[in-house]
Amino acid sequence: MSFLILEGGEGSGKDTQIELLKKRLDPEHTIFTREPGGTPIGEKVRAMLLNTPMEIMTEMLLFLACRAELMHKVIRPALKEWKLVISNRFGLSTIAYQIYGREHPELFPMLKDISKYVLGDVEPPYCILLDVDPKIGIRRVEGRGDGKTLFDAEAQSFHERVRQGYLSHYHDDGRGFRIDASDSTERVAEQIADQMSKWRL
């Protein structure tokens, strides 16, 4: 079937909307996954990425390694079975966080080259960007009371740059759609469903 990504900064509501989609979509024909993670190796690396400071090149390559494993073990097999794959984050997050957030534009050409190899013959995914002002997003994260990851705890300026990265690139493949995630949960869910219907997902 198709490959759909929900993207967005911290506190944009991706987890909530994924759970709503799980209730709405046929579980026999839909696979849900996440980045980083989604595989046994990916989940182990996820714990390091979210909690351990590291050099930017190490961080970016670990994200790409998780993505390669996810493509091989989960996404490509599911697409071959004509299932709809929905992932909580994917390649756009690496652009937003590592290139823009970490301020390393010199790594962008390398990221694009490796990403093409990782994606292989799979068409670029559809992307729904849940866009929210970082001030609102971080307040939501703090309100959850379940602690902060390494990325949650970054300075406001970092999250502003991440948002700029998302807004600059979510439509690069012509398959992106932006939703104002400061709207109500119900209204955001309606817009996601409407856009998925337009894309015939």
Domain count, the chain: 1
Q: What is the pLDDT of residue 130?
A: 98
CATH code, domain carrying 42: 3.40.50.300
Adjacency order of strands within the sheet including 126-131: 30-34, 84-88, 3-7, 126-131, 176-180
Rounded to two decimals, the pTM is: 0.95
SS3 content of the chain, % helix, strand, coil (to 5): 55, 15, 30
Asked whether 138 and 152 are in contact (CB, 8 A), the reply is yes
Q: What is the pLDDT of residue 146?
A: 74
Per-residue pLDDT of the chain (201 residues; tens, 9 = 90+): 799 999 999 999 999 999 999 999 999 999 999 999 999 999 999 999 999 999 999 999 999 999 999 999 999 999 999 999 999 999 999 999 999 999 999 999 999 999 999 999 999 999 999 999 999 999 998 888 777 889 988 999 999 999 999 999 999 999 999 999 999 999 999 999 999 999 999
Range of the domain at 187: 3-198
